[in-house]
Every structure is written in structure tokens, then in C-alpha cells.
Amino acid sequence: MELMMHQRQELKLLMTAQLRQSIELLQYSTNDLEQFIREQELENPLIELQDSTISTQIEKLPSFHKSKRPAMKTTDISTPILENFRDQTIQMVNLNFKDDYIKKLLTYMIHNLNDHGYLDIEETDTVYSAEEIERGVELLQQIGPIGIGARNIEECLLLQCQYRYSEFPLLKELIQFYLPLLAEKKWQVIAKNLKCSVAQVGQLNELILTLNPRPCSFIQIGNTEYLRPDIIVEEHQNELIFYLNDHYLPNIKLNENYLTVPTTNRADKQYINTHYKNYQWLINSIEQRRNTIIKIMHVLMQKQLPFFSKGLSELIPLTLKEVADEIEMHESTVSRATSNKYIQTPIGTFELKALFTSKVATNDGGNISQEKVKTLLKQFILKEDKYKPYSDQKISEYFKTEHAIQIARRTISKYRDELNIPSASMRRKWK
């Protein structure tokens, strides 16, 4: 074997650490970006942060006519209905029962209720017998919402049925043995097993719908989560304006004290130079991210203008590639810049990526957005005869004849699932 030396010229693109971070920074939400900036301050002594005093940069678009919309209501859900339901229930136990043994049993059970009011203990873990627990469940009905202390949904509904609908003996049997069939709308099978008519099963189903499978769901105490939009679109003097909601980001300043410190140590110089380059990279990357989002927003507001006054149903087909070509950037850049971003508009807050929607071809050679198709689908199903709901195939034929839109049955099924609309058999009502 002969050893030989060859010379070859190659061109390679190396992914440096800073380039990788620039790509990641592009897809950060504004909240994530703030956290990243503060982490950089801890790692880089040349970076100093100051509270922002920069005024918001507002971008305008041409005039448009306002549409009439109902006023949006806001509800404060941060205050729980009852701050300490369990303690109050224990107080009710002490007021209503004199026997110390009963008090201890019920207190033990109350401390083992989950947030929906179900008893959440294993039989092997409890110090009480099954008979004692059964007695405790009965007593809890006297002081709490009916159904409290149940071990499962069947028991919860049976407890409520016993107190509210004791005159319907078939209802108890239906809950005990046929809830899964009822969920699948197999009323004919249930009617055959109960030896009653389908209409009677429908009446029993209406009674079950009045029961509460989570009798204590109102006591859940959770932290209210607030969504901070990354972009805000507003109406101002018949104009649409938008701005990036980044006014709270700290200003990044250079600590020049390190640059003026005399040093002859090579390692010290390298340390300062490296951190100075990181400082410059951070400034440039943030500005590049900002400019990229602004460019994308200009295109979105021009292309999707009807959306900002009428909602998702008015979205036109628009892809990431089309926007990328418009601003002369790569499609992956647009994808990253629109990820993890929320936009607040006069009609609500949406994910920024919701403004992109695929095309559905029409028979006349035109295009319609998927969101428009979903809106038409939802409206069509709302108007159907609930006793004879349309199958996915019938809906597909309707779109073809009435809207000249060719959609396969499986696509209709997919859209239904995305809209949380059940199948025809599950939507059907029985007389």
C-alpha cells in the first residue's frame, strides 16, 4: 500500500457557539429574552443593566374602517371563592357532630379529599375499615356538596341521584352499569339492557347531565397565570399601529472601567477581549431579532388586514415561505422568529403562528384558508338536525357542491378533532 498526500479545497459552514446562541435568541419570547439578558449580566462583568427609559417604537399602517364588535368583558378569577374549604368543612363537622370518633373519622377523610372532592386514599393505607369509610361518606353528604367523599365518578353520581332523583330507579342502574355505553351514545344497547325505550334513556341522560361529577371543583386554588404579549396591535385614529412589547427589557450598558484598567497580563487581556466581543454580540443579536420581528409584522399586517377586525375566519392562506420571500430571509428564520410569540390585537390575543394558515384549493382555481374552512364546518354542524347529524362524507359532499371546495372525508374528521366536535354518532340525539 502506497502512502500519498493530496491537497483538496473545501468550503464548510461551522456552527460557532455564538451563531447557535443567536439562532436560539431569535425564538425566545420577550420574557425569555429578559431572563437571558439578566443571566448574561451575571456571566459578563462588562455588562451593566439599567431600567429601560426608551419610548416605544410605534409602526403604523394605512387607514381602515372600524367594525362594530361587542365590548369584551374581563373577569377577575384570581380570588378563590373559598380560601380554605377544608378548614371550614372541619368546622362544620365540629358543629354538627358530637361524637369524638365521628369527628376524627370525618376530619381524616376531609384531609384526604382531592381538589374535586373525591376521597383519594388507598384501602391499604387507611386506618379505618371499608364499613367505617362508607359511613363517613354518608355523613359527609350532610355538611358538604352532595357527592363529596366519593371514591369514583359512579359513586359521586349515585350519591347525587339518591338525594335528587330517588323516584327514578332506572337511573341508578344506568349509572352503576352503563356509563361507558352512555358516553359512547349507544342508547339502543342501553335501552335493550334496561328493557325500556330509547326515549326513556334520553330522559335519564338529561337527568345525569344535571349532576356534577366534580362536586368540589370550585374550591381549587391555583395561581393565576398572566400572558404577556410580545407584540401589541391597537386601533388609533382609524389606523392600525403595532409595537413590540419589550419596553420593560433592561438597557444594556458597557462597564468601561474594565477597558481602562492597565494590564500586561496576556490572559487578562484575552479575558477582557472575549467578554467585550460577547457584549457586542448580545447587542447586535437583540437588535437583529427586533428588526426581524418588525419586518415580519409589516408583512402580516398587510396580508392579514381583515383578521385584525373580524378574527380567524378572515385569515387568508399565508405560509412561512411566502413571508420569508417577502422580506428576503430564509423560511427557518421566519419560523424561529414567530415561535413562542403572542400577539395582542383589538379582537383578542393569539399565538403569532396562528396568522399563518395553509391553503385549501377550490374547484374554480382559487384558494381558501384552513381557518375559513373550519369556520364553515363549525357553522354547518351547528345548523344540522341533531336527530340526523351529518356524517363526515355528507359534509365533504356539502363543501364540494355548495362551496366548490374539494375536501376528503378524513380531512373533515381531522378538522372536527381540532375543533373538538364529536363524530355524527356522538352528536346524535334520540327522540
CATH code for position 394: 1.10.10.60
Distance CA 315, CA 371 (A): 7
**Among candidates 192, 193, 188, which has minimal Cα distance to 176?**
193
Side-chain half-sphere exposure of 231, counting CA atoms within 13 A: 29
pLDDT of residue 73: 32
Cell of 180: 361507558
The b-or-e profile of 38-47 (16+ CB within 10 A means b, else e) is eebbeebebb
Domain boundary residue among 202, 219, 236? 219
On whether both 243 and 302 belong to a single domain, the answer is: yes
On whether both 123 and 25 belong to a single domain, the answer is: no
pLDDT of residue 272: 87
Does residue 43 fall inside a structural domain?
Answer: no
Sign, Cα dihedral of 302, 307, 312, 314: negative
Cβ contacts of residue 61 below 8 Å, gap of 6+? 239, 240, 241, 242, 298, 301, 302, 305
On whether both 209 and 319 belong to a single domain, the answer is: no
pLDDT of residue 53: 62
Does residue 76 fall inside a structural domain?
Answer: no
Does residue 296 fall inside a structural domain?
Answer: yes
CB 381 within 8 A of CB 415: no
What is the domain extent for residue 109? 85-219
pLDDT of residue 329: 92
One-letter amino acid for residue 13 of the chain: L
Distance CA 298, CA 58 (A): 12
On whether both 290 and 321 belong to a single domain, the answer is: yes
Domain boundary residue among 355, 374, 389? 355
- Count of domains forming the chain: 3
Does residue 383 fall inside a structural domain?
Answer: yes
Predicted confidence (pLDDT) per residue in 130-146, tens digit: 888 889 999 988 888 88
Q: How far is CA 240 from CA 258, 292, 301, 346, 378, in A?
A: 46, 20, 9, 10, 30
pLDDT of residue 70: 32
173: three-class secondary structure by DSSP: helix
Does residue 241 fall inside a structural domain?
Answer: yes
On whether both 420 and 370 belong to a single domain, the answer is: yes
**Do β-strands 47-50 and 367-369 pair in parallel, antiparallel, or remain unpaired?**
unpaired
On whether both 192 and 108 belong to a single domain, the answer is: yes
Q: Euclidean distance between the first and final Cα of the chain, in Å? A: 89
On whether both 211 and 233 belong to a single domain, the answer is: no
On whether both 114 and 29 belong to a single domain, the answer is: no
Sites in the chain below the pLDDT cut of 70: 1-6, 10-19, 52-83, 123-125, 217-225, 264, 431
On whether both 370 and 389 belong to a single domain, the answer is: yes
On whether both 114 and 192 belong to a single domain, the answer is: yes
pLDDT of residue 82: 41
Domain boundary residue among 297, 327, 355? 355
pLDDT of residue 217: 67
Percent helix, strand, coil in the chain, to 5, is: 50, 10, 40
pLDDT of residue 122: 75
Side-chain half-sphere exposure of 33, counting CA atoms within 13 A: 30
pLDDT of residue 58: 53
The H or E element spanning position 298 is: helix 266-303
pLDDT of residue 227: 82
187: three-class secondary structure by DSSP: helix
Does residue 174 fall inside a structural domain?
Answer: yes
Predicted confidence (pLDDT) per residue in 370-382, tens digit: 888 888 899 899 9
pLDDT of residue 92: 87
Does residue 263 fall inside a structural domain?
Answer: no
pLDDT of residue 285: 92
On whether both 398 and 334 belong to a single domain, the answer is: no
Does residue 11 fall inside a structural domain?
Answer: no
**Do β-strands 251-254 and 367-369 pair in parallel, antiparallel, or remain unpaired?**
unpaired
pLDDT of residue 125: 66
On whether both 300 and 205 belong to a single domain, the answer is: no
pLDDT of residue 287: 93
